[in-house]
Amino acid sequence: MQRNNMQAVFERTPILKDCPTHYCPGCGHGIAHRLLAETIHEFDIVDRTIGIAPIGCSVLAYDYIDNDMLEVAHGRAPAAATGMKRTNPDKIIYSYQGDGDLAAIGTGEIVHAAHRGEQITVIFINNAVFGMTGGQMAPTTMLGQVTATSPSGRDALNQGYPLQISEMLATIPGVGYIERCALSDVAHIKKTKKAIKHAFKRQIDNEPGLSLVEILSPCPTYWRMSPVMAMEWINQEMVKVFPLGCLKG
- How confident is residue 245, by pLDDT bands cut at 50, 70 and 90? very high
Average pLDDT rounded to a whole number, residues 196-217: 98
Provide mean pLDDT across the span 4-18: 61
Alpha helices in 10-160 (DSSP H): 29-42, 77-87, 99-100, 107-116, 156-159
Burial 24-51 (b: 16+ CB within 10 A, else e): bebbbbbbbbbbbbebbeebebbebbbb
How does pLDDT run across 120-129, given as a tens digit for each residue?
A: 999 999 999 9
Contact criterion met (CB below 8 Å) for 53 and 70: yes
Mean pLDDT of 69-94: 96
The dotted CATH code for 22-248 is: 3.40.50.970
Q: Distance (Å, rounded) from C-alpha 166 to C-alpha 123?
A: 12
Q: Which of 91, 77, 104 is nearest to 212 (CA)?
A: 77
**Overall average pLDDT of the 171-198 stretch:** 98
Q: What is the DSSP letter of 205?
A: T
First to last CA, the chain: 50
Report the C-alpha gap between 30 and 186 in whole angstroms.
Answer: 14
Q: Which amino acid is at 93?
A: I
Q: Can you give the pTM of this predicted structure?
A: 0.92
The β-bridge partners of 129 are: 137
Domain boundaries, the chain: 22-248
Q: Is residue 60's pLDDT more than 90?
A: no
How many whole angstroms from its chain centre is CA 1? 43
Give the model's pLDDT for residue 101. Answer: 93
Residue 13 has what pLDDT? 54
Mean pLDDT of the region 148-167 = 95
Whose CA is closest to 97, among 140, 59, 62, 65? 59
* DSSP secondary structure string for all residues of 158-175: HH-PPP-HHHHHTTSTTE
